[in-house]
Chain A
Amino acid sequence: DIQMTQSPSLLSASVGDRVTLSCKASQNIYKYLNWYQQKLGEAPKLLIYYTNSLQTGIPSRFSGSGSGTDYTLTISSLQPEDVATYFCQQYNSWYTFGAGTKLELK
């Protein structure tokens, strides 16, 4: 099974900050990597698919990058509504999720 490791587990940042979340796979996943945002008490919402494709309706301040085993979600200018937990998910070999990064306002 492919393991997904997200870091950090908790991130505190200020409104307007550039924020970077990391996700590392236990083996090469060939960019088959998605990112989801989950706000408290809600279902996850797809933000980015196939490493860097922005889902329809998602603000352009969200972007993704990476290759091989290392992937990144970037928020260019943090907004209050971005407070959430963010999960990465690989689909190179079945489906596994990272444990999540909780993003809070400083």
Chain B
Amino acid sequence: QVQLKESGPGLVQPSQTLSLTCTVSGLSLTSNSVSWIRQPPGKGLEWMGVIWSNGGTDYNSAIKSRLSISRDTSKSQVFLKMNSLQTEDTAMYFCASNYAGVFDYWGQGVMVTVSS
């Protein structure tokens, strides 16, 4: 049974760095890719970036300069770090397994609010 679960702070101050963790079970990170996707309140979905099964990464060009995705395969965890947060980064953040462009399993999401 594949499960993904996001964790991290619910509140981040403007200009600070967001750090999130996606803990995965039921699939191997060395055989599967994981993406981060976010959704501002009441709005649509934005793909942020992916860490491939080989450990390589790719990012959405709109946020590439602020984003970093990494992993710890021994702990089955994927990490997101995004700096210089602004209020428009307030969103639900999801991790999802990414198989050939299809997001087949999703975590429940973690709500992040950027506010002082």
CB atoms of B103 and A44 under 8 A apart: yes
Task: Give 30 pairs: A residue, B residue, CB < 8 Å, sorted on A.
Answer: A1-B61, A32-B101, A34-B103, A36-B103, A42-B108, A43-B94, A43-B96, A43-B106, A43-B108, A43-B109, A44-B45, A44-B94, A44-B103, A45-B106, A46-B102, A49-B104, A87-B44, A89-B103, A91-B100, A91-B101, A91-B102, A94-B58, A95-B35, A95-B47, A95-B101, A96-B47, A97-B44, A97-B46, A97-B47, A99-B44
CB atoms of A46 and B101 under 8 A apart: no
Residues of A contacting B: mostly: loop
Q: Chain B residues near A45 (CB, 8 Å)? A: 106
Q: Chain B residues near A32 (CB, 8 Å)? A: 101
Interface assignment of A55: CB less than 8 Å from any CB of chain B: yes
Contact (A49, B102) CB under 8 Å given A43-B107, A43-B108, A95-B35: yes
Among B96, B101, B106, find the residue whose CB has the most chain A CB atoms closer than 10 A.
Answer: B101
Produce 1/0 per residue, B83-100, CB < 8 A to A.
000000000001010001
Contact surface of B with A, Cβ cutoff 8 Å:
35, 43-47, 58, 60-61, 94, 96, 100-104, 106-109
Interface assignment of A64: CB less than 8 Å from any CB of chain B: no
Chain A contributes a number of interface residues (CB within 8 A of B) equal to: 22
Q: Chain B residues near A49 (CB, 8 Å)? A: 102, 104
CB atoms of B45 and A87 under 8 A apart: yes
Q: Chain A residues near B60 (CB, 8 Å)? A: 94
Nearest neighbor of A92 in chain B, beta-carbon distance = B101
Interface assignment of A66: CB less than 8 Å from any CB of chain B: no
Contact (A44, B106) CB under 8 Å given A94-B60, A97-B45: yes
B41 CB, nearest partner CB in chain A, Å: 12
B112 CB, nearest partner CB in chain A, Å: 15
* Cα separation A34 to B102 with both chains bound (whole Å): 7
* Cα separation A89 to B96 with both chains bound (whole Å): 14
